[in-house]
Amino acid sequence: MKHQILSCALATMGALMVNTAQAQLFNRGGGLIYDSVQNVTWLADANYAKTSGFDSDGAMNWQDATAWIEGLVYHDAVRNVSYDNWRLPSIHDMGSPGCNFGSSGTDCGYNVDTQSSEIAHLFYVSLGNKAFVDSNGQAQSDYGLFDDPNNPNDESLFANFQDSFYWLADSHANSTDDAWRFKLTNGLQDYGNKSFLLYSLVVRDGDVAAVPLPGAVWLFGSGLAGLMLRVRQRKIG
């Protein structure tokens, strides 16, 4: 009977921990959102350049956006810490020459490989959004930023998303005049001239706090420890 109780308790605690591990976006407070899969922390304000008063509307060319983020110091009021290691979201060359504006699986177009950039992963995986077209090139409804009340990892974690493109960190390999960009309202990833005035979603590596176990898991763990102690005492007695 004692073995059955312990097995049941361990199974229940394991289930709680699995459900916790499945979560991806964590609101750390202080305007910071942690992505546990990509191990990066986003500024929740998707137009912080304007909110902070740095730029009148937040739209900047690529050089100015890069310089602003490199000099950005953000104070985390929850932990009373200031962070200065911010950057634009990274992009990874998936080996697709030029830009084929494909409907899926490349690094340029719609439904891009979600490993191609941090912001593509945020859009398609973390937030669960759809592109303007499906993988067959057919238009689909509910595309772009879609606030799903049943999805805790939705756009409500963020603020001030703009109906425009956002800059990515790298220049295009075939043209130093162009840089990569992503449009959050339709899921398009491509590149444009660095002189265009686009927005910036700010990110940094790592977490601002250790991911805590929910209070219920801690409580259950304490109960389990007590149960195991009682079993041990009975054996000794």
pLDDT of residue 229: 53
71-75, 147-151, 228-232: least confident range: 228-232
CA distances (Å), origin 51, targets 43, 86, 205: 12, 16, 22
Amino acid code (one letter) for 131: A
List CB contacts of 34: < 8 A, sequence separation 6 or more. Answer: 25, 26, 28, 40, 41, 42, 207, 208, 209, 211
Residues 168 and 174 sit within 8 Å (Cβ to Cβ):
no
Distance (Å, rounded) from C-alpha 138 to C-alpha 29?
39
Q: How far apart are CA 211 and CA 82, in angstroms?
A: 19
Q: Is the pLDDT of residue 178 over 70?
A: yes
Closest residue by Cα to residue 224 from 7, 19, 15, 21: 7
Segment 206-232 mean pLDDT = 56
Under 8 Å between Cβ of 194 and 62:
yes
Interstrand relation of 25-29 and 32-35 (parallel, antiparallel or unpaired): antiparallel
Residue with tokens 């922390």: 41
110-148 residue pLDDT tens: 999 999 999 999 999 999 999 999 999 999 988 988 666
Position of tokens 């073995």? Answer: 3
Domain ranges of the chain: 2-236
CA-wise closest residue to 186 among 134, 233, 234, 118: 134
Percent of the chain with pLDDT over 90: 60
Choice between 8 and 28, residue whose per-residue pLDDT is larger:
28
Retrieve residue 135's tokens. 């993988």
pLDDT digits (tens, 9 = 90+) for 71-112: 999 999 999 999 999 999 999 877 666 577 778 888 999 999
Angle at 123 between CA 171 and CA 139, to 5 degrees: 100
Provide the pLDDT for residue 219.
46
Whole-prediction pTM = 0.77
Query: Residue 116 carries which DSSP code?
Result: S
Of residues 101 and 13, more confidently modeled: 101
Whether 5 shows a pLDDT value over 80: the answer reads no
Q: How far apart are CA 154 and CA 17, in angstroms?
A: 22
Average pLDDT over the chain reads 82
Query: With contact defined as beta carbons under 8 Å apart, do 161 and 175 qualify?
Result: no
Predicted local distance difference test score (pLDDT) of residue 220: 45
- Indicate whether 33 pLDDT > 60: yes
Which residue(s) pair with 178 in the sheet? 193
How confident is the model at residue 232, as a pLDDT? Answer: 56
